[in-house]
Amino acid sequence: MTAQARGRTEIADRVLERIAAHVLTEVEATGGAARRVLGVPLGRTGQRTRPQVSAHVDGRLATVQMKITVVYPEPIRQVTRRLRDRVTSRLGELTGLEVRQVDIDIVRLTRPQEQGRRLL
């Protein structure tokens, strides 16, 4: 039986979102961001907070958007580069998709004292 005859595997956007959220826990000096309504945060923001992640799959290509916090005074460009590289490689390894874009919005800088165990 040929590969085309067997069908194909489709990966839901939600699966990518969960993988990307977990990858955030693997990158030092990053944390999640509380959801906001009319600009007001609902809950706490920091390393113990789940990140806001959205993803979209189009065929074999994927895009990811993340809202995160970064621990001050870490260099933001280096932290986001590490996160972007890690998300791209892990999603590629685990799903076989080509991650074309990882957009990262930093919603807050947190103090080192706010660091703690990350929840997922």
CATH of the domain at 97: 3.30.70.1350
Q: Is residue 4 included in any domain, yes or no?
A: no
Radius of gyration of the chain (CA): 16
Question: What's the number of domains the chain is made of?
Answer: 1
The 8-class DSSP code of residue 117 comes to P
CA atoms of 11 and 34, how far apart (whole Å): 26
Q: Give yes or no for residue 117 having a pLDDT over 60.
A: no
107 or 117, greater pLDDT: 107
Q: Cα–Cα distance between 100 and 61 in angstroms, integer?
A: 6
In a domain, 68, yes or no: yes
Q: Which residue range forms the structural domain that includes residue 18?
A: 11-114
How confident is the model over 45-95, as pLDDT tens digits?
A: 544 567 899 999 999 999 999 999 999 999 999 999 999 999 999 999 999
Query: Who's near 30: CB < 8 A, 6+ residues apart?
Result: 24, 47, 68, 69, 70, 71, 79, 83
For 55, the 3-state DSSP assignment is strand
Task: Classify residue 18: in a domain, yes or no.
Answer: yes
